[in-house]
């Protein structure tokens, strides 16, 4: 989920900045380490751990705070990290009322709504189930893109992936047992959160194409607007906490500063170095880590159908991201089609979501689901990562 932030965000992160030359927009070769920096594999692993543990952080956070308070704290600390990064890079805020309006909608669909839904869901369902529900984002994304994006044409393989993925969901939920022992409301909220990532990603793709602000500026503004939305809503539905317990407080801080803020910056670096296709593989590790964390740290129960169903969901999600033979690229220049978003995902902003080429994110945010690349563009460079 927060890889959330993830999904859509990755699409935007993979596009070259308006002022960059074509050559500077291309990622360096996967095998080339960044001069003076940490190897991309280490950062990739850190990203998977941060987003995988986000569901645990949510669960612990709701032990001491109301769901809206967990979401507000997460967005507040995530915004703080991204704001510091923007100041350090001397990045400017996006311009234009239209852009800000679309970013406000994206903030709701990719951050405020799904983050809140996951927080409420984990009041009644285990973090392991929430992490697996988050992995359905690319399935929802493909389903919606067939309706909303005319250039996205289904193939037999992708259609099969969609069917397999939803069979995996039914396996996780124990459909043959009549969903006994399952909290229907909590599970529905988690699935609705994943669906929101997919809707948000498509909205971003259709409305923010051609925005000339930087990816960091768009993402930071989106998460900031989501923070404002929660600042308005939270006091209306919650009261000031009677006490601040240390573990829930630290979980909320980690959820925001790491899962929404730092994770997005890590993702930027990985995408720039090895490209969005390799970077998107992180989403396959998120439900695995979320399940392991829930069982090992929180002592949550685990039946055979949960890991088996999760594997089926991930297999279906992977098939929905396959592409047919590439068409010959046009010779005329192709304009960038999409701006920001996790996912992760989270998943993850104009984030987050976001919706992603694989399961999305708790984040940010920021970031989410992939569709066919714009005509004449390299599908690998256009694919988002879910968040």
**Tens-digit pLDDT string for the chain (387 aa):** 444 444 444 555 545 544 444 444 444 444 455 555 788 889 999 999 999 999 999 999 999 999 999 999 999 999 999 999 999 999 999 999 999 999 999 999 999 999 999 999 999 999 999 998 998 888 888 888 877 766 666 788 888 888 888 898 888 888 777 666 789 999 999 999 999 999 998 899 889 877 888 889 999 999 999 999 999 999 999 999 988 999 999 999 999 999 999 998 998 888 888 887 777 778 888 888 999 999 999 999 888 888 898 899 888 888 877 765 554 444 444 444 333 344 444 444 444 444 344 444 444 444 433 333 333 333 333 333 334
Report the DSSP beta bridge partners of residue 364: 366
Report the DSSP beta bridge partners of residue 366: 364
Say how far apart CA 153 and CA 229 lie, in whole Å: 36
Global pTM? 0.77
pLDDT in the model for residue 385: 37
Q: Say what the alpha-carbon torsion angle 294, 298, 302, 306 is, to the nearest 10 degrees.
A: -20
Is residue 28 within 8 A of residue 384, CB to CB? The reply is no
pLDDT in the model for residue 323: 66
pLDDT in the model for residue 213: 86
**Can you tell me whether residue 291 is helix, strand or coil?**
helix
Q: Which of 70, 38, 121, 17 is nearest to 241 (CA)?
A: 70
């Amino acid at each position: 989920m927060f890889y959330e932030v993830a999904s859509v965000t990755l699409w935007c992160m993979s596009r070259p900045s308006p002022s960059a030359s074509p050559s500077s927009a291309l990622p360096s070769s996967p095998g080339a380490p960044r001069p003076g920096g940490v190897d991309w594999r280490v950062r990739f692993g850190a990203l998977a751990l941060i987003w995988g543990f986000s569901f645990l952080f949510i669960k612990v956070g709701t032990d001491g705070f109301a769901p809206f308070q967990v979401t507000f704290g997460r967005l507040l600390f995530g915004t703080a990290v991204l704001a510091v990064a923007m100041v350090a890079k001397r990045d400017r805020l996006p311009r234009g009322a239209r852009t800000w309006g679309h970013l406000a909608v994206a903030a709701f669909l990719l951050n405020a709504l799904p983050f809140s839904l996951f927080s409420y869901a984990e009041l009644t369902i285990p973090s392991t189930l929430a992490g697996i529900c988050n992995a359905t984002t690319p399935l929802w994304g493909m389903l919606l893109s067939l309706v909303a994006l005319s250039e996205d044409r289904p193939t037999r393989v992708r259609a099969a992936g969609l069917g397999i993925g939803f069979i995996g969901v039914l396996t996780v939920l124990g459909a043959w047992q009549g969903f006994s022992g399952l909290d229907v409301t909590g599970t529905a909220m988690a699935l609705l959160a994943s669906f929101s990532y997919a809707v948000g990603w498509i909205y971003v793709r259709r409305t923010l194409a051609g925005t000339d602000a930087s990816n960091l500026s768009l993402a930071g503004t989106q998460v900031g607007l989501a923070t404002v939305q929660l600042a308005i809503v939270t006091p209306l539905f919650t009261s000031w906490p009677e006490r601040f317990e240390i573990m829930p407080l630290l979980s909320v801080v980690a959820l925001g500063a790491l899962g929404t803020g730092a994770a997005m910056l890590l993702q930027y670096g990985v995408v720039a170095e090895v490209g969005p296709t390799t970077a998107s593989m992180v989403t396959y590790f998120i439900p695995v880590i979320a399940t392991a964390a829930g069982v090992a740290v929180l002592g949550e129960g685990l039946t055979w159908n949960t890991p088996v169903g999760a594997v089926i969901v991930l297999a279906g999600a992977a098939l929905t991201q396959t592409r047919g033979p590439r068409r010959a690229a046009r010779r005329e220049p192709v304009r960038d089609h999409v701006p920001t978003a996790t996912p992760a995902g989270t998943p993850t902003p104009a984030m987050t979501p976001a919706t992603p080429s694989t399961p999305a994110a708790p984040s940010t945010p920021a970031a989410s689901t992939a569709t066919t690349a714009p005509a004449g563009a390299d599908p690998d460079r256009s694919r988002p990562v879910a968040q």
